[in-house]
């Protein structure tokens, strides 16, 4: 885990298996959205497709859900809605079809209920008539008891994707055993203003997935929720998140709510996207969507059977050894003054999040048997990126020294005013930076340039003729963000 200096490193897209990885690269080429936004949306989509079907058995022996909470912070214009639409399309199609089937089933139910109630009322009248005549009603009572067994059941509107939802509504849609939903939005303001985000305790509990939750309703029976599965996916603009944090930030942090999230604030691609006149070619995304549809169909078949039994995914012996080794390293970094000390809330949950993600990678990828060391390493790589991001965004003590703040400003200037795009050979005279850049004075510019050199963003070259110093931009670095 490397300490972040001024911006996140490229998202570890290579850690995904082939289909997911190539889908991510394809979206990045065609949409040119920030890489981390795409990578995190892939994590959410895979999780949502798997969470109703599997659990993971930690090397410690605990069986845990594979649900994940994800929050992407991105500027307006970074194509959040486009990425959301591409990767979540199978879920929305599923929900639309489910809604059509529900309406048809509701009409059938209402007709059957009317008939059932009509006959039930007739039996009640027969019992009343027998009572008035002081005749035995045993035969009619037996018929009524048998009739009660055939009472129609109201169909369930099983919609996976939810957005503006209250805490009460969450409990009601999860009523029963093993229900699964995803609270997802590409406009964080909608969710932050919803009733769900005013009851963080409930959201924390459904992430932990207790065996039983209950809600007492006045005038109605108690709502019983057993083994629920809930993931949250938020794409939000910085100002929207800032407004929420100013209002409820201390509660969200103090309750450990953010510690249950994979967070990321990728560098914006606005202004650096190239215009491609050719029609986008989609080769891998359709296959990714097909895999999601397969898992959703399997989920529907499970619910229709009435037997909610999730497959428990375990680790191989070698993977257990590797998991414990990483867990020991993580625990060591929680010590006072060490890397995870100031984000110990997230650090304490990191290894469970790793296990959850490893199980999703394994199952979504169609891997047979138990989770291997290779799959576990992929999950560790992804979560390690998010550990650094969590520290960068939420650490109360993580303040940058002046040279790194200056490096951030210089990097932004180079990106916005000097870099000429993919495949370019961009450079600028150092004196030009002194006169026109955001950091004036050699005593501050030189340390800032050293930070950028250390990061591999630039190199300082001396022209052979005039002996002037130039800042040459590393195209691989600027082209990757």
| pLDDT > 80? residue 3 | no
Read off the pLDDT of residues 195-225 as tens digits, 9 standing for 90 and up: 778 788 889 998 987 677 766 554 456 778 8
| Ranges 71-75, 294-298, 425-429, 475-479: which has the least confidence | 475-479
Between the CA of residue 173 and those of 158, 169, 273, what are the distances in Å?
Answer: 8, 6, 42
Residues above pLDDT 70, as percent of the chain: 94
Residue reference for tokens 């993971």: 56
Q: Is residue 308 a contact partner of residue 74, using CB atoms and an 8 Å limit?
A: no
pLDDT at position 221 is: 61
pLDDT at position 241 is: 85
pTM above 0.85, yes or no: no
Strand partners, 73: 236
Read off the pLDDT of residues 155-180 as tens digits, 9 standing for 90 and up: 788 889 998 788 888 888 898 888 99
Split at pLDDT 50, 70, 90, the class of 348 is very high
Between the CA of residue 50 and those of 10, 131, 382, what are the distances in Å?
Answer: 26, 57, 18
pLDDT at position 408 is: 75
Split at pLDDT 50, 70, 90, the class of 253 is confident
SS3 69: strand
């Amino acid at each position: 885990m490397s300490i972040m200096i001024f911006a996140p490193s490229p998202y570890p897209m290579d850690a995904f298996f082939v289909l997911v990885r190539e889908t991510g690269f394809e979206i990045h080429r065609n949409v040119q959205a920030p890489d981390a936004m795409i990578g995190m949306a892939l994590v959410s989509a895979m999780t949502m497709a798997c969470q109703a079907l599997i659990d993971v058995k930690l090397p410690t022996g605990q069986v845990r859900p594979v649900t994940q909470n994800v929050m992407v912070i991105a500027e307006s214009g970074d194509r959040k809605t486009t990425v959301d639409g591409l990767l979540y399309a199978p879920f929305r199609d599923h929900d639309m079809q489910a809604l059509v089937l529900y309406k048809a089933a509701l009409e059938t139910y209402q007709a059957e209920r009317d008939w059932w109630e009509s006959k039930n009322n007739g039996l009640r009248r027969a019992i009343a008539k027998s009572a008035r005549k002081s005749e035995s009603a045993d035969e009619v009572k037996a018929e009524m008891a048998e009739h009660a067994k055939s009472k129609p059941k109201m169909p369930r509107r099983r919609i996976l994707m939810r957005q503006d939802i209250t805490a009460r509504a969450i409990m009601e849609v999860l009523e029963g055993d093993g229900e699964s939903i995803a609270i997802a939005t590409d406009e964080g303001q909608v969710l932050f203003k919803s009733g769900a985000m005013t009851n963080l305790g409930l959201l924390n509990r459904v992430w932990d997935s207790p065996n039983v939750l209950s809600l007492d309703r006045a005038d109605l029976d108690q709502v019983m929720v057993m083994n629920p599965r809930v993931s949250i996916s938020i794409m939000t603009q910085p100002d929207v998140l800032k407004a929420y944090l100013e209002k409820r930030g201390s509660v969200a942090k103090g309750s450990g709510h953010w510690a249950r999230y994979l967070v990321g604030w990728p560098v914006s691609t606005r202004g650096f996207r190239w215009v491609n006149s050719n029609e986008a070619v989609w080769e891998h995304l359709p296959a990714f969507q097909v895999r999601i549809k397969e898992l959703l169909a399997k989920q529907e078949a499970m619910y229709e059977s009435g037997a909610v039994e999730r497959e428990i995914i375990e680790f191989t012996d070698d993977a257990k050894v590797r998991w414990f080794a990483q867990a020991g390293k993580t625990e060591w970094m929680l010590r006072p003054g060490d890397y995870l000390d100031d984000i110990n809330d997230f650090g304490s949950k990191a290894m469970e999040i790793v296990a959850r993600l490893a199980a999703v990678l394994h199952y979504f990828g169609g891997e047979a048997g138990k989770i291997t060391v290779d799959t576990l390493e992929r999950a560790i790589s992804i979560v390690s990126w998010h550990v650094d991001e969590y520290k960068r965004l939420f650490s109360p003590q993580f303040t940058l020294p002046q040279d790194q703040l200056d490096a951030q400003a210089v990097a932004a200037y180079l990106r916005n005013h000097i870099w000429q795009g993919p495949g370019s050979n961009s450079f600028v005279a150092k004196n030009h930076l002194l006169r026109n850049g955001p950091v004036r004075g050699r005593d501050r510019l030189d340390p800032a340039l050293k930070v950028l050199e250390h990061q591999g963003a630039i190199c300082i070259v001396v022209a052979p003729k005039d002996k002037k110093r130039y800042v040459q931009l590393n195209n691989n670095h600027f082209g990757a963000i």
